[in-house]
């Protein structure tokens, strides 16, 4: 690492901290996100031809984490159209091309993998790095299957993005966060629900007070091996996962 790069990163740390302390900027970001979410902003992006239903900022953050961690297994709950699985697989492909784990894989779990989505995922060039399991991510038999797939892996990254109720996400954290390797992350997506207006979710079982962020807070009470990466929150500003980037520190 060159001295110039070290200096650049040192400056970035200070600038990111300043972003996190800028109350006005945070308030403007929060207001913009509420407006954008009413317009279904996150639904309008694709990755290599598949809808990804994520904010671009969070995908850049996941790329940074994947490059830094160099996982040989990524576990992801929630598949939907498969764009996030394709994204993860393509990052693993890039890592392999750059000397990373040659046989790294992503494992997706969903209670209902719709036939048209499964067909599109399996037909994609990145499918060679993807495995899928259909079933509830918190069902004991599914958890056992995932744990078996994780045995022997050196570096595991976890992404939780299925049912967003407090109880479901807390159960996912209890099941899968322990599989996260030290230095890697367990990322709980859509923690932003806690910060959004209650009328944003009239037809959903989650909302403020009952969502991934409240589950993260509950989980961390008894799991000091994880810490919220606040620098990630301050860097992104625009993110569906504030307080959701959980780094395993021991």
Verdict on whether the full-model pTM lies above 0.75: yes
The domain tally of the chain equals 1
What string of DSSP letters covers 55-122?
A: -HHHHHHHHHHHHHH--SEEEEE--TTSHHHHHHHHHHHHHHHTTS-TT-EEEEEES---HHHHHHHH
Radius of gyration of the CA atoms of the chain, in A: 18
- For residues 232 and 247, the answer to whether their CB atoms sit within 8 Å is no
Q: What is the pLDDT of residue 201?
A: 86
Q: What is the pLDDT of residues 39-86, one digit of tens each?
A: 999 999 999 999 999 999 999 999 999 999 999 999 999 999 999 999
- 76 pairs with which residues across the strands? 108, 159
- For residues 175 and 137, the answer to whether their CB atoms sit within 8 Å is yes
- For residues 43 and 51, the answer to whether their CB atoms sit within 8 Å is yes
Q: What is the pLDDT of residues 178-213, one digit of tens each?
A: 999 999 999 999 999 999 999 988 889 999 999 999
Q: Is the pLDDT of residue 1 over 90?
A: no
Q: Which domain holds residue 168?
A: 3-248
Contacts of 143 (CB under 8 A, 6+ apart): 137, 175, 176
Q: What is the pLDDT of residue 103?
A: 97
Q: What is the CATH number of the domain that holds 24?
A: 3.40.50.150
At residue 245, the 3 state secondary structure works out as strand
Q: What is the pLDDT of residues 155-171, one digit of tens each?
A: 999 999 999 999 999 99
Q: Is the pLDDT of residue 235 over 90?
A: yes
Confidence of residue 32 (pLDDT cuts 50, 70, 90): very high
**156-160 and 130-134: which strand pairing?**
unpaired
Q: What is the pLDDT of residues 102-154, one digit of tens each?
A: 999 999 999 999 999 999 999 999 999 999 999 999 999 999 999 999 999 99
Q: What is the pLDDT of residue 231?
A: 96
Q: What is the pLDDT of residue 26?
A: 93
């Amino acid at each position: 690492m060159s001295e110039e790069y070290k200096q650049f990163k040192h400056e970035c740390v200070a600038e990111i901290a300043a972003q996190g302390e800028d109350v006005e900027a945070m308030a403007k970001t929060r207001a913009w996100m509420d407006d954008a979410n009413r317009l279904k902003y996150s639904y309008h992006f694709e990755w290599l031809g598949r809808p990804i239903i994520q904010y671009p900022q969070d995908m850049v953050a996941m790329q940074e984490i994947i490059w830094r961690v160099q996982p040989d297994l990524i576990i992801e709950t929630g598949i939907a159209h498969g764009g996030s699985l394709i994204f993860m697989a393509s990052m693993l492909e890039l890592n392999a091309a750059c000397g990373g784990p040659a046989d790294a894989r992503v494992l997706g779990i969903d209670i209902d993998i719709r036939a048209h989505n499964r067909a599109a995922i399996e037909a994609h060039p990145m499918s060679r790095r993807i495995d899928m399991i259909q079933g509830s991510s918190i069902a004991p038999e599914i958890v056992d299957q995932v744990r078996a797939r994780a045995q022997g892996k050196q570096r595991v990254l976890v992404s939780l993005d299925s049912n967003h109720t407090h109880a479901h996400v807390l159960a996912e954290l209890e099941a899968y966060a322990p599989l996260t390797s030290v230095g890697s992350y367990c990322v709980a997506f859509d923690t932003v629900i806690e910060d959004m207006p209650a009328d944003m979710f009239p037809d959903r079982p989650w909302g403020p007070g009952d969502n991934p962020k409240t589950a993260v807070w509950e989980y961390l009470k008894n799991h000091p091996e994880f810490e919220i990466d606040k620098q990630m929150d301050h860097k992104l500003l625009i993110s569906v996962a504030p307080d959701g980037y959980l780094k395993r520190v021991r």
